[in-house]
Amino acid sequence: MKKQITVIILLLIFLSQACVEDEFLREEPRDDIFAENLFVNYDGFANGLNAMYANVREQLDGTETVNRDALFQIGTDNVFINNGAGATDPFNNYVDLNSQNDLVEVTFERLYEIINSTNLIINRAESSEVDWQGSNAEENLANKNEVIAQAKLVRAFCYRHLRYGWGAVPLSLNEITGTTYRDDWERTPVEKIQEQMEEDLLFARDNLDMVEETGEVNSAIASTMLAELYLDMDRPDDAADEALRVINSGEYELMTERFGENASEPGNVFSDIFDNVIRESGNNEVLWVLNNAYDDVVGSAGLRRKDMWQTDTRKHKIVKKRVDNTDLYHTLNGGKSNGRLSISDSAFMWYEPFDDRYSEHCVRKYFIYPKDGDENATEYDTLIYTNMKYDNPDDLENHYEWPCVRKWEYLDPYVFENAGRSSQYDDQIYMRLAETYLLAAEALMKQGNNDLAANYLNAIRARSNASLISGSDVTLEFILKERSRELVTEEYRKHTLVRTGKFYEWIIKYNPRVDESKVNPFNQYFPIPQGIIDGNIGAVMEQNPGY
């Protein structure tokens, strides 16, 4: 109970001292007495980090029934809006996207709230009064640097979103308090944002272990993020070094054999990765897991990946007619969903037919309902998903027969009657070694070492029984498609397309809902929220071009 109360207090501190809603640029003076009392020793900072991680995890919670960080996945080449929810609708038609969009505004503000929580930890850790609870000076310094390193990595993680989402953004490195609040922010050039990210990530890389406690960031995550950053900065040699540092560390491996509690059940190793997400369950591929707990545990979050990505088949006319027991229906089909987002048909067609990642264990191609609507039935009818045509793009609105990935299926483990709840309370993968392999391949290709790049791509493809490639097959187009095949719904696809300069070209080419009349090149960046611009009364905050 004492730990739960501490987490609540710290969450309130972070929310009260962070950039609350549209007040990021016009923060009013606030009392910081609680922080003064709590950040006095290593235990206090450990609790502060727990609250910081809770804020990160809440990015997978939602607004308008999509995750906040869905903003960096929707309206790309491989994801379109299916069952829209207001703020998401403009990402099928960017002409309607403006600076008052709720999802854009909430996500922007929330990222700065997290940044301020990291600044709070980093700044207060420099106090000479802190008891780092080590047995000697060396342990004290190690404890201090470990705390700062975790906060700096999360700060870089937030600026990564901001850089790819908005381009030049305000760079905030100091805790906002009653004496430091400002209303004269200016947008910092992307190059300066990248430099700060590099500084933060290098510190994290050098002061964290390659493997840390489950749920905490580590040196492998820092190097993987550095690899992506160096590609963004056109430094492929450094990118390759960072990616290979993780791959060759001996601490992680691509999972290639069945494992975990369902290893003897129908499935494949790719489905096992998402059935057994933590290292303790035998998953040596996962780099970062967001720990979560059932909703009666303080600090848990009702995540919405399932609700967002799984097709809302309960609204299908046959299901509506024949199924009375919706709890049973949801139990048979991976849990309740709203099907807000769908994978483009292009992305599904990028798989070879025998690729395990496209098998029925990894992509839901049919759904099950009781024969004759009998909840006690022992026989079931199935409806095969065959409708992936989009001759009329308008037919994709509220489309209830679209296939979906099964990475985020979730059944409430406690109460059958809760099978129809939208939220899920489970640990979730946030970064895998497969992404490190893909970054390594891209860096090696940019070095001109296509044969070695093919080896790393083949390591991923072989475990899913996809055909192997040669160095002559390695192109940026191939890597982008392989990233989708492996990481769809995990990857922040918008980041990748912006980084590689393919946003406009690929969204027109592969998104079934978007053509040249619905998107412009400037849409690679979101508008700066109008509330931020209006609140910055001490300086002019320029809007992104086109909005």
Identify the band that residue 26 occupies on the pLDDT scale cut at 50, 70 and 90: very low
Residue labelled with tokens 């691509």: 254
- Let me know if residue 354 belongs to a domain: yes
How far apart CA 272 and CA 262 sit, in angstroms, is: 7
Q: What is the pLDDT of residue 526?
A: 98
User: Mean pLDDT throughout 319-325?
Assistant: 58
How far apart CA 452 and CA 445 sit, in angstroms, is: 8
How far apart CA 532 and CA 529 sit, in angstroms, is: 5
Q: Is 343 helix (H, G, I), strand (E, B) or coil?
A: strand
Which two three-digit tokens encode residue 252? 């992680």
- Let me know if residue 437 belongs to a domain: no
pLDDT tens per residue across span 389-447: 656 655 556 667 788 888 987 655 544 455 556 666 667 888 999 999 999 999 999 99
Q: Please say whether the beta carbons of 341 and 348 come within 8 A.
A: no
- Let me know if residue 451 belongs to a domain: no
- Let me know if residue 43 belongs to a domain: yes
Q: What is the pLDDT of residue 319?
A: 62
Of the candidates 408, 426, 444, which is a domain's last residue?
426
User: Mean pLDDT throughout 528-539?
Assistant: 96
Q: What is the pLDDT of residue 9?
A: 39
pLDDT tens per residue across span 118-128: 999 999 999 99
Judge if 313 and 201 occupy the same domain: no
Does residue 30 carry a pLDDT above 50? no
How far apart CA 197 and CA 159 sit, in angstroms, is: 7
Residue 465 Cα to chain centre, angstroms = 26
Q: What is the pLDDT of residue 176?
A: 87
Q: Is 349 helix (H, G, I), strand (E, B) or coil?
A: helix
Of the candidates 426, 441, 464, which is a domain's last residue?
426
- Let me know if residue 319 belongs to a domain: yes
Does residue 328 carry a pLDDT above 90? no
Q: Which residue has the higher pLDDT, 15 or 540?
A: 540
The amino acid that residue 331 corresponds to is T
Residues 6+ apart with CB under 8 A from 31: 178
Q: What is the pLDDT of residue 23?
A: 52
Q: What is the pLDDT of residue 401?
A: 74
Least confident window among 358-367, 382-391, 479-488: 382-391
Identify the band that residue 316 occupies on the pLDDT scale cut at 50, 70 and 90: low
Q: What is the pLDDT of residue 514?
A: 93
Does residue 1 carry a pLDDT above 60? no
Judge if 183 and 54 occupy the same domain: yes
| Phi, psi values for residue 363, rounded to 5° | -130, 125
Q: Determine what percent of the chain is predicted with pLDDT higher than 90.
A: 63
Judge if 30 and 173 occupy the same domain: yes
- Work out how many domains the chain is built from and give that number: 2
Q: Which residue has the higher pLDDT, 251 or 37?
A: 251
Residues 6+ apart with CB under 8 A from 410: 306, 334, 335, 424, 426
Least confident window among 39-43, 104-108, 287-291, 327-331: 327-331
Which two three-digit tokens encode residue 13? 């501190």
Q: Which residue has the higher pLDDT, 497 or 331?
A: 497
Quick one: which of 99, 96, 79 has its CA closest to 519?
A: 96
Q: Which residue has the higher pLDDT, 113 or 412?
A: 113
Does residue 4 carry a pLDDT above 60? no
How far apart CA 54 and CA 510 sit, in angstroms, is: 35
Does residue 8 carry a pLDDT above 60? no
How far apart CA 116 and CA 15 sit, in angstroms, is: 9
- Let me know if residue 499 belongs to a domain: no
User: Mean pLDDT throughout 12-31?
Assistant: 46
Identify the band that residue 28 occupies on the pLDDT scale cut at 50, 70 and 90: very low
Q: Which residue has the higher pLDDT, 481 or 423?
A: 481
How far apart CA 301 and CA 433 sit, in angstroms, is: 25
Judge if 327 and 186 occupy the same domain: no
How far apart CA 38 and CA 31 sit, in angstroms, is: 14
User: Mean pLDDT throughout 195-212?
Assistant: 98
Of the candidates 382, 407, 426, which is a domain's last residue?
426
Q: Which residue has the higher pLDDT, 22 or 49?
A: 49
User: Mean pLDDT throughout 145-173?
Assistant: 98
Q: What is the pLDDT of residue 59?
A: 74
Judge if 182 and 323 occupy the same domain: no
Does residue 334 carry a pLDDT above 60? yes
Quick one: which of 275, 406, 430 has its CA closest to 335?
A: 406
CA angle 116, 120, 122 (to 5 degrees): 110
Mean pLDDT, all residues of the chain: 85
Say whether pTM exceeds 0.85: yes
pLDDT tens per residue across span 57-93: 877 666 556 777 889 999 999 998 887 778 888 999 9
Judge if 29 and 169 occupy the same domain: yes
Range of the domain at 169: 2-208+529-535
- How many CA atoms within 13 Å lie on the side-chain side of 352? 12
Judge if 332 and 194 occupy the same domain: no
- Let me know if residue 96 belongs to a domain: yes
Judge if 138 and 12 occupy the same domain: yes
Judge if 162 and 30 occupy the same domain: yes
CATH number at residue 101: 1.25.40.390
- Let me know if residue 268 belongs to a domain: no
Judge if 314 and 194 occupy the same domain: no
User: Mean pLDDT throughout 460-470?
Assistant: 98
Judge if 199 and 316 occupy the same domain: no
